[in-house]
Each structure stands twice: as C-alpha cells, then as structure tokens.
Amino acid sequence: MRGRLLAIAGLVAVVASAWLTSGATARPSATPPLTIYAAASLTEVFKALDGAQHFSFAGSNALETQIRNGAPVDVFASAAPLNTQRLFKAGIVDKPVTFTANRLALIVPKSNPAGIRSIYDLRSKPVKLVVAAPAVPAGGYTLSVLRKMGLSSVLSKVVSRESDVKAVTGKVALGQADAGFVYVTDARPVSDQVSVIRIPARAHPRVRYEIAVVAKSSNKTAAQAWVRMILSAKGQTALKHAGFLPLPKASS
C-alpha cells in the first residue's frame, strides 16, 4: 500500500512539473516593442528591416520637438546631426552616432509637363516647385544646394513648403508640382511616377544621419541592441540596398 501511494505521489509530481513547465513556456518572454522615432526618409527601410517595432516617421525637427516635450521614445534616428546633437547637449539622448548618409536630388513627374532636364531649368522655366520647410533637414539641404549653385532666386517659384520629405515626393508623384527636392532614396519607391535629375557633385550637401538612444528609455538594453543592429552588417546592407550611402571608412 505504501509503495502504491509513493508511486501515485510521484506521478502527481511529474504531471505538476510538466504543467508548470508548459505554463512557463506559454508565457510571452520577448521584450515589448521599442518605440522608434525616425526621419520620414527611413520609412521603407526601417519597416522592412524590423517590422516588430513601433515606428513614428516624420520630419526630424518635429520628432525632436516631441522628444524634447517628453514623448515616451526609445530610439531617435535623424536625417541631420543638428537634431540629435541638440538633444544630446540637453541630456535628453545618449551620445549619437552616424549610421548612414544620403544624396539630394531633383525629381519631376514622369510626364514632365514643365520640360525640366537640368536643375538650371528651374530658373529659366515657369515651374511650380515644392520643397520641404527650412526647419526640416531636407529643406535645409535644399537651400544649401540652391545657394551653392547660385539659384536661390528660384525659391520665388515655390508653391508649397512641406513638413517632411515624403510629402514633397507625394506631390511631385501625383503631378501636383512640376519639381521637388528629395533624397534619392525617396524617389525609389515611386520610380514609376517620377524621374530623377542629379545634382552636380560640387553642390552636394553632406547629408548625414545620426541615431541615439533616448536617455529616459524604459528599455535601454533593447534600444542599445537595436542601434547596434543598425550599425551591423545586416543593418548596413539593408540601408545600402535601399539606396543609402555607406558609413565613411575610418581613417587609419
């Protein structure tokens, strides 16, 4: 009788152990998604690279303001160092790092109703030009290009200043403007709707992207790991395939 009771007790212990193990396995062990604020030009590549995170894409200047005002963010990726560096100096983000670069270009609708073949045609032809607002990185880079090329006068032909570069791309793609300045990476997703006119190398601004972990992130370990992933071969390959420029090689 005693042996039988011991056997039953042992069986109960085995079943209980199995149930507990099964229950522990069933519990979600993964960390919650990160909240990542990123420049609008990173929309396609970041979503394709890691769709498990919560993203908010907009002009880097607008995102900077939201973070400064206390938005619960884990990682900030900006299209210009100015935005991340200001937050770093204020102690709001950890030290930013450069993770990629880009190029500015002029795009026109495929139908090209204004007959624009060169950036200089903006001066000689009656065009409806759309650009990003000056506070948006793409808008600042546009002003730099026009200044270097002696074309600042064409700003009189601007019909709209948009809150981010995707809005500029959309208006040109839909034929609501004759031309607009965007990053070359923004033209790719709408390559069937727009044509790209290259900007002379001498006028190229230095378009450098920075990324930083927000100091008050509730999951800094995961946020730091995500930044490392962007800097890794996996992240850099994805950015390259999307048309972004590689990180400059460190001088020896």
pLDDT digit string (tens) for 50-97? 999 999 999 999 999 999 999 999 999 999 999 999 999 999 999 999
Domain span at 66: 35-101+207-241
Rounded distance, CA 150 to CA 170, Å?
27
State how many domains the chain has.
2
- Residue 145 falls inside a structural domain: yes
**Residue among 164, 202, 221, 213 at smallest CA distance from 41:** 164
pLDDT at 173: 97
Q: DSSP letters along 51-64, please?
A: TTSEEEEE-HHHHH
**62 and 130: one domain?**
no
Contacts 24+ apart (CB under 8 A), 226-235: 226/34, 226/36, 226/50, 226/53, 226/74, 226/75, 227/75, 227/97, 227/99, 229/50, 230/49, 230/77, 230/99, 231/97, 231/99, 234/49, 235/49, 235/99
**42 and 72: one domain?**
yes
**84 and 125: one domain?**
no
pLDDT at 187: 96
**40 and 157: one domain?**
no
Q: Looking at residue 59, which CATH number applies to its domain?
A: 3.40.190.10
Contact yes or no for 244/101 (Cβ under 8 A) = yes
Contact yes or no for 60/78 (Cβ under 8 A) = yes
**117 and 188: one domain?**
yes
pLDDT tier for residue 15 given thresholds of 50, 70 and 90: very low
**Choice among 3-17, 147-161, 165-179 with the minimum mean pLDDT:** 3-17
**85 and 52: one domain?**
yes
pLDDT tier for residue 200 given thresholds of 50, 70 and 90: very high
- Residue 16 falls inside a structural domain: no
pLDDT above 90 covers what percent of the chain? 85
What end-to-end distance do the CA atoms of the chain give, in Å? Answer: 81
pLDDT at 40: 97
pTM of structure: 0.84
pLDDT at 250: 53
Contact yes or no for 136/121 (Cβ under 8 A) = no
